[in-house]
Amino acid sequence: MTDLRNWIYERVAADENLSRPQLAELAVDLGHEPRFWAEYVRHDPHTRYFHQLYRDLNVDIWLICWLLAQDTGYHDHDLSSGAVYVVEGALCEDYFHRDAGGWIDVRTRGREAGTVFDFDGSSIHGMRHAGGVPASSIHVYSPALWRMGYYEPGEGGLRRTSITYADEMAAGGHAHPAAAAPVTGAAVRPLEPASS
């Protein structure tokens, strides 16, 4: 973890949130550094696997592994902008589109290995495995992801349910053991893992 932390520190200013282009650049750069994430790749036929690689107040980085049409459901990222780099396989991003007549429909963008895309926190989308070979992707958020909105059918249309970072972890995520523990000190960024 210390090597990844140092690698991030060389690229990201302390105490600053990243712009969408900066998030995309960081996701691609990290995707080209499998020494930091390859050992965590797991493709489980029963559940989508996600592993938190790094977290401080301004940057949150995840590896997500996909198989057999696993999906996220429709969601937003509350106050956090994000970027996703597909390192292997293919994903589909489903999103809502308003046509010229004012009607809303669902559209899908294919996200092949080697592609990156970014979004603001209010964008609603759903991600899913596109089929075929297993997929893995690097997700980078800024500021750090604290809350997300999940959308499900309800009376009168879609309803948003807010969940916290802790809820997501309790649902089966895998964080670095020290990733959620606050750490203090002049030479350490807030919330950064203290050890490798």
Q: Which H or E element spans position 155?
A: none
For 135-170, write each residue's pLDDT tens digit. Answer: 999 999 999 999 999 999 888 888 999 998 777 777
Mean pLDDT throughout 166-176? 63
The number of beta carbons lying within 10 Å of the beta carbon of residue 57 is: 17
Q: Tell me if 73 sits within 8 A of 106, measured CB to CB.
A: no
Task: Measure the CA–CA gap between 81 and 143, rounded to whole angstroms.
Answer: 7
Task: Measure the CA–CA gap between 143 and 18, rounded to whole angstroms.
Answer: 7
Measured between alpha carbons, how far is residue 18 from residues 96, 141, 163, 172 in Å?
A: 26, 8, 23, 27
User: Quick one: 2-175 is in which CATH superfamily?
Assistant: Jelly Rolls (2.60.120.10)
pLDDT at 156: 87
Largest Cα separation within the chain, whole Å, is 56
Percentage of residues of the chain with pLDDT beyond 90: 76
- CA-wise closest residue to 64 among 46, 88, 81: 88
Task: Measure the CA–CA gap between 42 and 166, rounded to whole angstroms.
Answer: 21
Task: Measure the CA–CA gap between 129 and 136, rounded to whole angstroms.
Answer: 9
For 41-98, write each residue's pLDDT tens digit. Answer: 999 999 899 999 999 999 999 999 999 989 999 999 999 999 999 999 999 999 999 9
Average pLDDT, the chain: 87
pLDDT tops 60 at residue 180: no
pLDDT tops 50 at residue 123: yes
Query: Which tokens hold the place of 41?
Result: 């790749």
Q: Which H or E element spans position 191?
A: none
pLDDT tops 70 at residue 116: yes
pLDDT at 1: 64
pLDDT at 170: 73
Coil, strand or helix: which one is 165?
Answer: helix
Per the DSSP assignment, residues forming a β-bridge with 188 are: none
pLDDT tops 80 at residue 177: no
Q: Which H or E element spans position 25?
A: helix 20-31
pLDDT at 122: 94
pLDDT at 80: 96
> What sign does the dihedral 132-29-42-144 (CA atoms) show?
negative
